[in-house]
Structure 1
Amino acid sequence: MKLKRMAGALALAALVISTFSYCTSDAKKVSGKAGGSKKTDSTGTELVAEEEIDTRTPVDTAKYNELVKKLANGDTTGKWPVKNQPYPLAGAILPFKRIVVYYGNLHSKKMGALGEYEPKEMWKRLNAEIKHWEKVDPSTPVQAGLHYIAAVASGTAGKDGKYINRMANSQIDSVLKIAKMRPNTIVFLDLQVALSNIKSELPHIEKYLELPYVHLGIDPEFSMKDGSLPGKKIGTYDAADINYVSGYLADLVKKHNLPPKVFVVHRFTKKMVTNSQSIKLRPEVQIVMHMDGWGEPDLKLGTYRHFIYGEPVQFTGFKLFYKNDLKKAPNRLMTPEELMKLKPVPIYIQYQ
């Protein structure tokens, strides 16, 4: 598959930042959250949760078993549901809700619907997608989310020579404010590390990951371990990298008494994730292996079958591209009805 997103990513540094008007709303503190130093946004406003999340009552394990079996969708190979996975801590989103998100960056109209449209129009469109999913699978509530690229692989070296453009806290704060336009929305911060590495980049967004409604995505496509410039080839993460990140998240969850973090890993080739069988599962973290390839339905289904279904980790995701998926016949977007027939059924849906 071609290097699918670089036209937008590599042009980022040259784009003029769009000005948005944002809506603010009051937020509720988290039930059961430990005390500690307050986290504030770029204006000094305290960052708190939008909803009360019960981090004390254990998950219903019988219900959990029922739902992961349902997601397996009749698979008889023994791959799904994943065996011996730990039950999550209280407050877990998956598999109790399906996450449906818009993806993008506020600097660019070319990197996804989050950034392409003004906030009110963006929410109008995302709400329509959410209603479609609720209609197709009424037994699974939808958790709305925004998936923001907080570190973008760049076409220029930058001061540190790492070819990475880290978004300012003010930009991340803007996304959190946009999220508050729809109550109880969660936010994902996505990292494209380029010539840096995941260990160096996580601390830049740690204060946001300490919030109960902020989760994480990482993109192996732009993890250039061999020193290649981003966009010249497809990058990679190993299970060791993914285990480091999940351990990092687990420590934050335990330290701050948070609900489990959802951890999304993009994938559309075999080498993007190596040694997947060695990925460690933890009660504090819910891992989504996310089919991130674009193209016609048959190509997307093949990618899902080989690299998501064929290498089970925990939960699965599926990405739909409003523009790139239409470049070749039959020039259409796959539907929720079609995705509900997959084995396993994706529980995280991303629109770009």
Structure 2
Amino acid sequence: MTGPHRVAAVLIVGLALLLAAFTDPGHGDRDRAEPRPVLAGGEGATASSPPTPPTLPSGTPRWQSERVLPDRGMLIAYYGTAGSGSLGVLGETSPRRALRRLQHAAAPFERPGRPVRPVFELIVTVADGHPGKDRDFSHDIGRDAVRTYVDAARELGALLVLDIQPGRSDFLEVARRWEWALEQPHVSLAIDPEWRVRRGQRPAQVIGSVGAGEVNRTSAWLSQLVVEHDLPEKLFVVHQFRTAMVRHIGRVKPRDGLQLLQHVDGFGTRGQKLATYRAVARPDIFAMGFKLFYDEDVHRMGAKAVHRIRPRVRFVSFQ
């Protein structure tokens, strides 16, 4: 096409588009009513950025499409609190170094077609043997320390699970204090009934317990958080090593946006650990988790032994 003809063609197309805009009676209202498209690059994107292709079917909540457990895979965790190795291996070093050690520990669990995802399980509310200022026999670690793990897990591609040991407080009451972190898409929640004691009891002097009603109230709140904020599915972990630690466990309810997981924490010989697991496991309600202790276990199980456990273990943590 010659130069004059090309110019004429462009002018004709431009006039046609302009005419269509003025003759479409709903044009202006539609532009105001429709939300702006999501732009590549997140909040810093500009109007010239190409739109991000949609990753979910229209109308499908993220929690239905972004599952927290790898398909046929496992989650492998380091457990502990920030700045101290006394409660677990996680706090013995920085998050970045902990990830390198965790990846080494997780490698034997990998199988073809069965991916392994790293997890930091961070105790954010720690049970105490003394009443403390709130007289609830527990304390929260510093918010800055938790934010360090929130940011590090995001940067390193790990899942972060906030573990709470509430003392005499209600699990839901304590979980609400960590809402600011649980609003993050890669942050999940664990409750530890061993450290949920009643009036007149002290942590570490008795093995605590929780009723299904309190478990359900806590999971309902977390489920609402996931649904309202359109978050990916979260783990809701319940630690247990005695049947009495979760009263009326058969009444624990499934929740939208949550993968319920029962984490069996017994230590000792291989035979003792398997006996605890079989006595406690409720695979009809939960996916299953299993803890490996560096110090307390006798002839600690390796990956092959864990893979042979039935019901199948989907989450393994090292303490």
Normalization by structure 2: what TM-score?
0.78
> 1:141-188 CA distances to partner (integer Å, 9 max, x unpaired)?
111110000000012211111111111210101212332452x21100
Instruction: Give the Cα separation in 2 of the matches to 1:107 and 1:295.
Output: 27
- Cα shift at 1:53: 11
RMSD: 2.4
Q: Distance in 2 between matches of 1:350 and 1:264?
A: 12
Structure 2 letter corresponding to 1:172: V
Q: State the secondary structure of the residue aligned to 1:249.
A: helix
Q: Distance in 2 between matches of 1:301 and 1:191?
A: 25
SS at match of 2:190: strand
Q: In the aligned structure 2, how far is the partner of 1:289 from the partner of 1:258?
A: 22
Equivalent in 275, 281, 288 of residue 316 of structure 1: 288
Letter in 2 for 1:164: S
Q: Deviations over 1:52-74 (max 9, x none)?
A: 99565799xxxxxxxxxxxxxxx
Cα deviation for residue 203 of structure 1 reads: 1.5
* Rg larger for: 2
The structural deviation recorded for 1:320 is: 0.5
Determine which of 132, 137, 157 is the counterpart of 1:158.
132
Over the matched positions of the two proteins, sequence identity in percent amounts to: 31
User: Which one has the bigger helix percentage?
Assistant: 2
Matched, 1:148 2:122: yes
8 Å CA contact 2:150–2:181 kept in 1: the answer is: no
CA distance in 2, matches of 1:290, 1:255: 27
SS in 2 for 1:347: strand
Aligned CA distance change for structure 1 residues 163 and 297 (closer, same or farther; 3 Å): same
In structure 2, relative to structure 1, the CA distance for the partners of 1:90 and 1:181 (3 Å cut) is closer
Q: Return 5+ residue gaps in structure 2 as ranges.
A: 1-36, 44-52
User: Once the two structures are superposed, what CA deviation does each residue of 1:314-336 show, in whole Å capped at 9, x if it has no partner?
Assistant: 200000011111xxxxx321011
Q: Secondary structure at the match of 2:313?
A: coil
Question: Contact 1:53 / 1:259 at 8 angstroms: preserved in 2?
Answer: no
Instruction: Give ranges in structure 1 of 5+ residues lacking alignment.
Output: 1-30, 33-37, 39-51, 60-87, 326-330
Separation in structure 2 between the aligned mates of residue 286 and residue 54 of structure 1, nearest angstrom:
21
Q: Distance in 1 between matches of 2:139 and 2:295?
A: 24
Matches of 2:175 and 2:311, distance apart in 1: 30
Amino acid across the alignment from 2:286: Q
Indicate how the Cα distance of structure 1 residues 56 and 187 shifts in structure 2: closer, same or farther if over 3 A, else same. farther
Instruction: Specify which of 184, 206, 211 is matched with residue 211 of structure 1.
Output: 184
Q: Which structure is higher in RCO with an 8 Å CA cutoff and minimum separation 6?
A: 1
* 2:106 aligned partner: 130
- Amino acid of the structure 1 residue aligned with 2:125: A
Cα distance in 2 between the residues matched to 1:57 and 1:320? 42
Instruction: Kindly tell me the number of residue pairs found equivalent between the two proteins.
Output: 267
TM-score computed with the length of structure 1 as normaliser: 0.71
